[in-house]
Structure 1
Amino acid sequence: MGASNAASVSSRSSKAVFAAAGSPYFSTVLALMGAVVILSNIGAAKGVALGPIITDGGFFLFPLAYILGDVISEVYGFKAARRSILVTFGLAIFAVLCFWVMIALPSAEFYDGQQALERTLGPVWQIVLASILGFLMGQLANAWVLVKLKERFGERGLIGRLIGSSGVGEFLDTLIFCSIAASVIGITDGAQFLNYLLVGFVYKTGVEIIFVPVTAAVIRWFKRKEPGYGQQVSTSA
């Protein structure tokens, strides 16, 4: 009987708990993710060389989108993460349509920035395509792995599942994104592409790992602030 009770308690303590996605906290994180992805898509149209390192102008923003994705997946679950990904890229597509209209509008006689505008925002649709395929697959893989690990270990092992899910998600994301975006920013040489790919993967994954303590702290804050989450944890314990 004692062993049976212990097994029952262990089973309940490892139950995956998620908050309802209808809270204002969820909508705030979703809005931030949309803004980060749109800005990173614009920045990614610029090729950047930092010494021997080749990257793009959105390199410092994109890891933040994954950190926000981790928060949503861990606190609100896979369905909420999937919805946030689709909404975010709907916003990204809307932004591209707006850029297209801005470029197509006839310029005033006093405006001399048309060529610069076209050069800056014109290739963004290709970057968005790369983001849709890369970030979509990467984020879904990241969310799926994180949630599956949570279903296995419950509230335990947060740091491990953040690192593990990030590695899987960032690899798929970077591979797909770089394959499409490289030619847009002027990378045609095989060695430069390999540099771009490896630097992107190592950098993005490294940043996420460095910020894992911050991500974990933010996640714990959300868990404390979400009343429904705390109630579910108490019930399952």
Structure 2
Amino acid sequence: MIHNILNDKPTKLFIFLASFFVANALIAECIGGKLFSLELLLGRQPEPFSLLGEEGLTYTLTAGVLLWPLEFVMTDIVNEYYGPKAVRRISYIAVALICYAFLMFYMAISVPAERSFWIGSQKEAGIPDMQAAFMGVFGQGMWIIIGSLVAFLVAQILDVWVFHKIKKATGERKVWLRATGSTLVSQFVDSFIVLFIAFKIGRDWTWQRVLAISLVNYSYKAFMALVLTPVIYLVENRIEHYLGKNTTAAMKAAAMSNE
């Protein structure tokens, strides 16, 4: 049985894609507690601007956005060859493992810290309390976790739906339209939901602030979706080379029939 699985190229490809998808989602959630300046990353000083009446906005983003664009590329690839049921299945697995990971993080935070050495072991590096640092890195707020997970699931389901609606209308043509179009729609919803749950419900932000920051975040995600469009073609080309034209054509047809 295991030899048949390991020798079947479509199965091996799915295992690789699913593993990368789940790992990428988990890593993005883990590093999401860090905020960074996109302007400084690009070698420019932040220049605050206003949007919808909200002043002092800059491109301050969570580090998780470094990985999420790749996640939606992977969604489109899995959708193209294995269908929406496969995307939903690996999305549920990703959410379950993220929940498990955060449960383990909170357990690790709660166990008594070793005080004779570990607590002050990094004082020379500027970290006087390792327990506080550990809690700050891994102890993300519950509303942020809930918002991120709900936004991820809703965006995934929406991405699948839009992708197949476009593909039904265009057939095998215009890969860029269904891949980029589905990502643009799902990322807009994702950007709003996570801020609404984490900060409107969790911290009572105003609607004005939620919408303004959602649009700032979405502009980055939309730009990255366009930039990464050629990656879809590159990956599909490599998959066709790996599996063969007949196999990939059969997989795409089965993916559409399994909607």
Superposed CA offset, 1:111-130 (max 9, x none): 21111111121125433311
Partner of 1:6: none
1:146–1:229 distance in 2 versus 1, CA, 3 Å: farther
**Higher mean C-alpha deviation, range 191-200 or range 140-149:** 191-200
| RMSD between superposed Cα atoms in Å | 2.9
Identical-pair percentage: 25
1:230–1:75 distance in 2 versus 1, CA, 3 Å: closer
Partner of 1:85: 91
- Give the AA of the match of 2:32: A
| 2:232 is the alignment partner of 1:226 | no
Cα distance in 1 for partners of 2:118, 2:67 equals 30
Match of 2:112 among 70, 92, 106: 106
Cα distance in 1 for partners of 2:15, 2:107 equals 28
| 2:27 is the alignment partner of 1:39 | yes
Q: What pairs up with 1:18-167 in 2 under 5 angstroms?
A: 23-49=11-37, 50=39, 51=46, 52-109=58-115, 110-112=117-119, 113-123=130-140, 125-167=142-184
User: What TM-score does the superposition give when structure 1 sets the normalisation length?
Assistant: 0.80
Question: Is the CA contact (8 Å cut-off) linking 1:54 and 1:192 kept in structure 2?
Answer: no
- Give the AA of the match of 1:147: H
Superposed CA offset, 1:112-166 (max 9, x none): 1111111121125433311221111111111111122223332111111112111
Cα distance in 2 for partners of 1:46, 1:187 equals 21
Task: For residue 73 of structure 1, report the CA deviation from its aligned partner.
Answer: 0.9
Q: Please, which runs of 5 or more residues in structure 1 have no aligned partner?
A: 1-19
- The secondary structure found in structure 1 opposite 2:64 is coil
Match of 2:223 among 191, 206, 209: 206
1:174–1:29 distance in 2 versus 1, CA, 3 Å: same
Partner of 2:214: 197
- The secondary structure found in structure 2 opposite 1:55 is strand
Question: Is the CA contact (8 Å cut-off) linking 2:31 and 2:63 kept in structure 1?
Answer: yes
- The secondary structure found in structure 2 opposite 1:123 is coil
Question: Is the CA contact (8 Å cut-off) linking 1:75 and 1:219 kept in structure 2?
Answer: no
Cα distance in 2 for partners of 1:214, 1:234 equals 18
User: What TM-score does the superposition give when structure 2 sets the normalisation length?
Assistant: 0.74
**Higher mean C-alpha deviation, range 151-160 or range 168-177:** 151-160
